[in-house]
Amino acid sequence: MKTNLRAQSDMNYQSLSLWAAHPEKTDFADGVPVPSLENRQITAQVDVFFVHPTTYTGKMVDKSWNAPINDIKINEKTDNGTIKHQASIFNGVARVYAPRYRQAHLNSFYPRKAKGNEVSAFKLAYSDVKKAFLLYMEKWNLGRPFIIASHSQGTRHAEQLIKELIDGSDLQESMVVAYLIGMPVTKDAFLSIPICNSPEDNSCFVSWRTYKFGHLPKRNWGTGNNIAVVNPISWTTDTSITNPNEHKGIVLRKYNAVYPYKSKAQIANNVLWITKPTFPGSFLITTKNYHGADYNLFWMDIRDNVRTRVNSYLGKS
């Protein structure tokens, strides 16, 4: 196995260049899809530490299982994709911190392709995330309430981060909520952090993986009875089907509109089922696994819920 350590072994997160999003720089987390929404990071009383998903998906750079931290194409893919479409959700009520990290290549999730290389690849990636979080806490957090948010590979690292540094520690009381999306997280993943079961709950976590109604993950991946699923329309673990009128809105790739009231959702078989949404061009969608849209399909639902949970937390403190 080869990992990309060229001139970057120290990973100095004091440098803003190692942050895909940071309140002290202009970045894609500052955007909003419509003018009626506002980026209010400057007045936010809460932070979000966002761990982005895998964007190292093509040909390996120098045959490395970990992405080079300064690769322009990979960073542009990260910024124009996950930071713009996912991290920006939080800018209405939270300052956004999203570190770059030497993420593991997509093939690390497929044992037949990884052939054992995934262990070291994920370990290195997590070490960067942990280092960034520790510096964030020391230099920028300064006792503020915070949110942990993540998607896909980011959720793998965020879960480990919470287990090691937050669960059962003094930091747990400062964690407003954790959005651990796009990977199976067990109901008992943490010793003292429960699953959220109402829109206002704090110091808890939510998780879901989105599929078209009636479909399940391939290879029975993460389908055991102990997988945590919260419905991001009702924000409960209730297995009832939600009403389309409760669905607050989708944001598409063009990032220039919000499409509300499009889908029903239901927790079933330890995943989240959603009716195929209808919007311009939706007839072209043939996939039944909506993993890449876990955030976008519920963009306004998440944004509004973040505000609800922050208000609940600040009201209690």
Pairing of strands 146-151, 175-181: parallel
Amino acid 165: pLDDT: 98
* Contacting residues for 9 by C-beta, under 8 A, at least 6 apart: none
Model confidence pLDDT, tens digit, residues 72-96: 999 999 999 999 999 999 999 999 9
Pick the closest to residue 277 from 296, 262, 257 (CA basis).
Answer: 262
Where in the chain does DSSP place strands (E)? Answer: 19-21, 46-51, 94-99, 146-151, 175-181, 205-206, 210-212, 265-268, 271-274
Q: Which two tokens stand for residue 35?
A: 């003018």
Whole-number Å distance between alpha carbons of 233 and 247: 6
Pick the closest to residue 302 from 166, 174, 151 (CA basis).
Answer: 151
What are the φ/ψ torsions at residue 211 (nearest 5 degrees)?
Answer: -135, 155
Read off the pTM.
0.94
Amino acid 5: pLDDT: 41
Model confidence pLDDT, tens digit, residues 183-232: 999 999 999 999 999 999 999 999 999 999 999 887 666 667 799 999 99
Q: Which residues of the chain have pLDDT under 50?
A: 1-8
Residue 271 DSSP label? E
